[in-house]
Amino acid sequence: MARKPLLEMENISRVFPGIRANDGICLQLFSGEVLALLGENGAGKTTLMNILFGMYQPSSGSIRLRGKSPGRLSPTKALQMGIGMVQQHFSLVPSFSVAENITLGWKTRSNREMLRGVERKIQQLGAHFGLPVDPRAKVWTLSVGEKQRVEILKLLFTGAQILVLDEPTAVLTPGESQQLLAAIRKMVRQGSGVIFISHKLEEVLSISDRIVVLRHGKVVGTVDRSEADETTLVKMMMGHEPEPLALLPSPPRGLPRLEVKGLQVKNDRGHLAIRNLSLEVQRGEILGLAGVSGNGQRELAQALYGLRRVVSGSISLDGISLESGNVHQRILHRFSYIPADRKGVASCPNLSVRENLSLKKRLPPVRNGKQNPLIRTFSIQVASEKMPVRLLSGGNLQKVIVARELSAKPTFILADNPTWGLDIQTTGLVSRILREEAKRGTAILLISSDLEELFRLSDRIAVLFEGSIMGYAPPDRTYREKIGRMMAGIQGESGEDA
């Protein structure tokens, strides 16, 4: 069937310093279809969509809308051209009603009649597409699912023909997800095209007409729904990699050091991000936690460390119950935490390097003329340790934080993507230190979106999906596909693995 595509992205590449986020991507979207964009973290999906939406410019390649080039895109222009994106952060005015939020920014003179008209249309569209929302309800009273519907309705009102939905079901309950998927099917029947970004295979298979799989910035393949199944998709997503390093032998099992039972944690929106999660980390073990980011890793780490309150469940370290929200207790028991957002959360930009290195200690560092030995050990490039930390390069800042957390003879280390942003040498150093700590008897929970790192360092790998542990696997590359399935939401063998 020779029909003109709504959207054509040809040979799109986007280079950032040091990375090719998108490499020669070709993609077409036809009217009336749902195109799924599938891929792991860092595969390049978000960058690609940001280019489509005009937030970035491609380093090379071109975009055509209905065969014509739109010129240089900006978010405003993209909206005008009928491209709309529903993101994870909503921009709605809480005290306004749904209808008022939709009409915000319209240039026409407002009056009662127009508003009534809009309300009627909202009800019509809502009923038609299965996105029911009370047009007069104030936004602050709406649930997350309802707010998302308002965002979608906003786009429909602007006449968007191309809708991009970025992990839309991440914030929804299963029931709401079903409603959304049904609504999407109805929308495309009207002639729009929808790009659906997700890592959840079940959803992708249930809703898409065609599937584009990205890996490392390149298109691995474009398949029709009829030709796709879980196995092929997982194979495409994960790929086959050569084996770089030999595996280290697992240490003997000891007593559980960290015990988590039935943990429930809410995210910022008030939804459960961690559902009934239980795990154990043994003394001297490195437990790797795999999973696509956004499945509750952040909330889990924060709850374990005490930065986020626990709804129910228990956490105990060496048999001592850790109080919900009490960071100080953790620090006293030598619980180290390397957060994912190191710059924003774990360092003080205007304090000196020396002060940041002793951030968690009660007293400021003593001036004894000797340089902090950590600077040498971690090759932190600084002119002087009195420099304020905001002048450090990104990589050096990471080193400061990692150095601080790994050197205080901890009993437990919670590391969230610890080598992200580090050069090869320091990555090797961190890996070595983690291994040495494990040998010393420290229990380590290593959260990472990089499977290779997990294979290299962990003794066991657990997979986190939608707030629960999907299953476990040994750090053996032959289990790669199995892990991939678990990461994508397909049930694996739960329970301990041999």
Partner 1 sequence: MKLQLEKRLRLPRFAWFTVPLYSLAFAFGVMFFVLAFFYLGQEQAAGTAFSRSGFALVSLLSTPFSSWFGFFGSLTHMVPLALVALGLSVAYRVKAWNIGGEGQMYLGAMAATWGALFLFPGVSRPWVMLPLLCAMGLAGGAFWALLPALMKAFLRTDEIVVTLMLNYVALFWADFLVNGPWKNPAGFGFPGTASFGVSARFPTVFGGQLHTGFFLPLLVAVLLLLLQQKSAWGFRSRIVGDNPLAARYAGISVRRTGAMALLASGALSGLAGAVQMMGVQHSFQQGFSSGYGYTAIIVAWLARLNPLGILLVSFLFGGMQMGNSSLQMFHGVPSALTPTLQALLLFSLLGGESLSRFRIRWKKPGEVADHG
Partner 2 sequence: MGETGVFLVSVLGAAIQSGTPLLFAVLGTILVERSGVMNLGLEGLMLVGALAGFAAASVTSNLLLAILFAMMAGALLGLLHALFCVVLRINQVVSGLAITLLGSGITGLWGTRFAGTTAARFVPVKLPLLGDIPVLGQIFFGHDVLVYVALGLVPLLWFFLYRTRFGMNLRAVGEEPRAADSRGIDVYRVRFLYTIGGSAITALGGAYLSLAANSLWMDNLTAGRGWIAIALALFAGWDPVKALLGATLFGGISALGFHLQAFGVPVSPYLLKMLPYLLTIGVLALTSSERSRRKLGTPSSLGIPYSREERM
> Which residues sit at the interface with partner 1, rule CB under 8 A?
16-17, 54-57, 72, 74, 305-307, 327-328, 330-331, 337, 339, 344-351, 355, 359-360, 362-364
Q: Is 119 in the site for partner 2 (CB under 8 A)?
A: no
Which residue stretch of 95-103, 328-336, 380-388, 467-475 sits at the interface with partner 2 (rule: CB under 8 A)? 95-103
Q: Which part of the chain contacts partner 2 (CB under 8 A), choosing from 90-98, 160-168, 284-292, 440-448? A: 90-98
Judge contact between 128 and 156, C-beta under 8 A: no
Q: Which is nearer to partner 1, 56 or 96 (CB)?
A: 56
In the complex, what is the shortest distance from the CB of residue 341 to partner 1, in angstroms, rounded to a whole number? 9
Partner interacting with residue 91 (select from partner 1, partner 2, none; CB below 5-8 Å by kind): partner 2
d(CA 415, CA 428) in angstroms, rounded, equals: 15
Tokens of 450: 């990089």
Q: Which residue has the tokens 């749902």?
A: 34
Q: How far is the CB of 15 from partner 1 (least distance, A)?
A: 9
Residue with Cβ nearer partner 2 (75 or 254): 75
C-alpha 465: how far from its chain's center?
A: 12
72 binds, among partner 1, partner 2, none (CB under 5 to 8 A by kind): partner 1
Tokens of 20: 């090719």
CA distance 484 to 290: 9
CB of 81 to partner 1, least distance (A): 15
Q: Which one of partner 2, partner 1, none interacts with residue 74, CB within 5 to 8 A by kind? A: partner 1
Position among 13, 22, 50, 101 found at the interface with partner 2 (CB under 8 A): 101
**Partner interacting with residue 327 (select from partner 1, partner 2, none; CB below 5-8 Å by kind):** partner 1
For residues 133 to 172, the per-residue mask of contacts with partner 2, x marking binding by CB under 8 A and - elsewhere, is: -----x-x--------------------------------
Q: Is 94 in the site for partner 2 (CB under 8 A)?
A: yes
Region for 467 from its dihedrals, namely left if φ exceeds 0, alpha if ψ lies in -120 to 50, beta otherwise:
left
**Residue 349: which of partner 2, partner 1, none does it interact with, CB under 5 to 8 A by kind?**
partner 1
Q: Where do contacts with partner 2 occur on this chain (CB under 8 A)?
A: 76, 91-96, 100-101, 103-110, 138, 140
